[in-house]
Amino acid sequence: MSVGRETRLSAWIERFAAHFAEEGIPLIGGRILGYLLVCQPTERTAAELSQELEASSGSISTNLKFLVNAGLVTKRTRRGRQAAQYRINEKRWVDLIQRKLDALVSVRELTEAGMRLMSGDPERAVRLRTVDDLYTWLATELPAVWERRPASSR
């Protein structure tokens, strides 16, 4: 008998989380994202996430707060003493990518500042100029491409 679907899914979630861990998102935060992208039903309580992902209630709370704050997860409260429900807000994934691109392009401000300090000594600036040219090109091209992204992602 083959490995069950759920086992393969949790392996996928783990890879997913590992990738974003390299980008600075805590492991448990990445697991929450991966899990909420594929779980059925789509909404989960903090307690369910804690059990399913085998993480402490504290970690779940901290990471949910972070993700809700980033807009990637939506919190839905209910009347009564019922637990709040969390679901992925996949429409906001664009923001994640945009932040990445912005970080890349923002280096240009640094190289520009450096070029200003080097003004008056062109010879000394040639190395920095090569780098500055690159980021200047990026800063003009990337936003243009970004604007042309499909309407479905807005």
Partner DNA sequence: CCGACTCTTCGGTCGGCACTGAAGCCACGA
Partner DNA sequence: TCGTGGCTTCAGTGCCGACCGAAGAGTCGG
Question: 19-58: which residues touch DNA (CB under 7 A)?
Answer: 24, 26-29, 45-47, 54-58
Residues 94 and 108: their CA atoms lie apart, in Å, by 22
**Alpha helices in 23-121, H assignment, sequence order:** 27-38, 46-52, 57-70, 93-105, 107-118
Which of 71, 122, 134, 143 touches its own copies (CB under 8 A)? 134
Cis check: omega of the bond before 150, within 30 degrees of 0: no
Choose from DNA, its own copies, none: what does 97 bind? Cβ within 5-8 Å by kind: its own copies
CB burial class (10 A; 0-12, 13-18, 19+) of residue 13?
A: buried
Of 4 and 58, nearer to DNA (C-beta) is 58
Residue 122 host element (H or E): helix 122-147
Amino acid at 137: W
Whose CA is closest to 39, among 85, 96, 81, 80? 85
Choose from DNA, its own copies, none: what does 110 bind? Cβ within 5-8 Å by kind: its own copies
Which of 47, 57, 97, 122 touches its own copies (CB under 8 A)? 97
Which of 9, 21, 27, 139 touches its own copies (CB under 8 A)? 9
Choose from DNA, its own copies, none: what does 133 bind? Cβ within 5-8 Å by kind: its own copies
Which of 21, 27, 84, 131 touches its own copies (CB under 8 A)? 131
Q: Does 99 bind its own copies (CB under 8 A)?
A: no
Chain residues that interact with DNA, rule: CB under 7 A: 24, 26-29, 45-47, 54-65, 79-84
